[in-house]
Structures are given as structure tokens and as C-alpha cells.
Amino acid sequence: MENLIYSDTLPGGKHWSLLMRRNTRLRLTDVEGGANIGMLFYNPQNLLERYNAPDTLKCQHTFKLTAGHCLYSDMGRIFCSIVSDSFGWHDTVSGNTTKAIVARKWGEKSYQAARNDWQQNGHDSFLVEGAKYGLTRRDLAANVNWFSKVAVAADGAMSLDTSAAKAGAQVELRFEMDTLVLFHTCPHPLNFANTYPRKPAQFEILEGPPAALDDPARLSAPENARGFENNRIFLAGCCGDHHQ
């Protein structure tokens, strides 16, 4: 059913970007356990359309992201759906480390001293990857933090549950429209480890079947059936493809 096209591993504290075609899949693996993958999504045909965490959460009445969920743009469309997930609870509200946060938590390291073990931060990672496509700071938004479980207590207190970390945990995304993906492997901003966590992530691109009419992502909420219908309307206009 699936055909592996490409496999790579991004070391901890690095960043990269990909253009994912509709119906291709991106499989992410937390190789050692404790990785964090910050990720943002844009429509390459109109970069003003971007991932919207509040819409994603409220459309599906969820605070966490896991299998069956769809990741929405601010235009009511689905960039991708989560087809499988062995981790169970991914964060999309905590944002990124910045240069100042990294310095406060883990000290300052110059590039000359640390070379490629420098302590990159998530915010700067998105600035650099985004700039490759003409995106600036003003285009950033709340990102996903894959493999980071942020729990909320009754009084609203947030905490990163590091006990959820699992070597080999995987999440697989199926893209429902062409999507620009920016990502980094910098630490989660609520990580209180004593030293800068440097955890690699494997990313694989696969070919696979499109979402069937009874796909769990379509059926997990009536909202998602309407989201898929918005994609169908968009695809009819942009790409001459209105089936399903």
C-alpha cells in the first residue's frame, strides 16, 4: 500500500523544509525518545494561508493532536491528517525556544567554540527556513511540537510530561493538499533538562492511497467531513481535481 520514496534523519537542534504533494505522506520517528519536532505548514500557492492551531483545536474540540485529527489552515482547509500515531498526545500551543530562552536555560555557546553542536533555537530555525520561501517573522504562527506531551492541570497549569517519551514512537501525516512544511528538531520550550537536549528525528516521505470515503480522519468529527469538502472545492478550482 505504501511506497517509501525517501528517508533521512535530522540531528537534534537542526532545521529543514519540504514541499509535500497532495496524497504523499510524511512519517516522523522519535529515534531515541525525547525528541521534539517543531512544525509549520503553508499553502505554496498562497503563502498567506498557514497552519492555524486555534482553528485546528476548536474544530475538533481537542487540546492534544493524535490519530484521526486533521491539521487546518486559517482558510478552513486541511493541510494534512494524522493517519497513525503511536505517541498519543502532541502539543500545538507552547511555541518555540528563542535565543534568549536557550541562553537562560542552557547557557550561551558561540559557534566558534561549539561548531555544529551549537544550541540552535526553534524561533530562529523557522525564521531561516521561512526566509527560503519569502516568509518573515510576520508569517509565523503557533506551531506543532511533535512528540511533546503538554498536560494541563485543573487550574490551567501547563507542564511537559517527559515520562511520555518513547524511543521509536511514530506519527504519520497524509497531505490533503500541496503543502510547504517547515520543521526543526530544537528542544521543546518547556523542557527543563539540565543540558541542551539534542535528539534526532527520522523523517520519511512515502507514497500511499488518498483518504477513502470512510477514512477515520473524515469520520472522526462532522467538522472534518466539511473540511474535506472545502479541500475538494479548492482542488477543483486550483488543480482540476474534484474527486473525493
Partner 1 sequence: MIKESTLREADAIYRHVIPAGTYWMHVVQKGQTLRLLDLEGNQAADTLFFNADDPAERYSASDTIREQGNIYLTAGTVLMSDICRPMLTITADTVGRHDTLGGACATESNTVRYALEKKSMHACRDSYLLAIAENEQYGLSKRDIGHNINFFMNVPVTPDGGLTFEDGLSAPGKYVEMTAHMNVIVLISNCPQLNNPCNAYNPTPIEALIWGEGV
CA quadruple 227, 232, 237, 239: dihedral positive or negative? positive
Nearest to 143 by CA among 126, 157, 124, 119: 126
Residue count, binding to partner 1 (CB under 8 A)? 49
How many CA atoms lie within 13 Å of 229's alpha carbon, on the beta-carbon side?
6
| Residue from the set 74, 200, 205, 216 that interacts with partner 1 by CB under 8 A | 74
Nearest-angstrom CA–CA distance, 80 and 20:
10
Q: How many angstroms separate the first and last alpha carbons of the chain?
A: 19
Q: Which of 93, 103, 128, 206 binds partner 1 (CB under 8 A)?
A: 93
Residue 242 interacts with partner 1 (CB under 8 A): yes or no: no
* Residue 71: closest CA among 158, 174, 150, 149: 174
Stretch that binds partner 1, among 2-10, 61-69, 175-183, 205-213 (CB under 8 A): 61-69
Compute the least distance from the CB of residue 69 to partner 1, in Å: 11
50: β partners = 42
166 in contact with partner 1 (CB under 8 A): no
**230/203 Cα distance (integer angstroms):** 28
Q: Which of 14, 18, 62, 109 binds partner 1 (CB under 8 A)?
A: 62
The stretch among 87-95, 106-114, 162-170, 206-214 that binds partner 1 (CB under 8 A) is: 87-95
Minimum CB distance to partner 1, residue 78 (Å) = 9
Give contact residues for partner 1 (rule: CB under 8 A): 48, 52-55, 57-59, 61-64, 72, 74-77, 89, 93-96, 98, 100-101, 123, 136-142, 151-152, 154-159, 189-190, 223-224, 226-227, 229-230
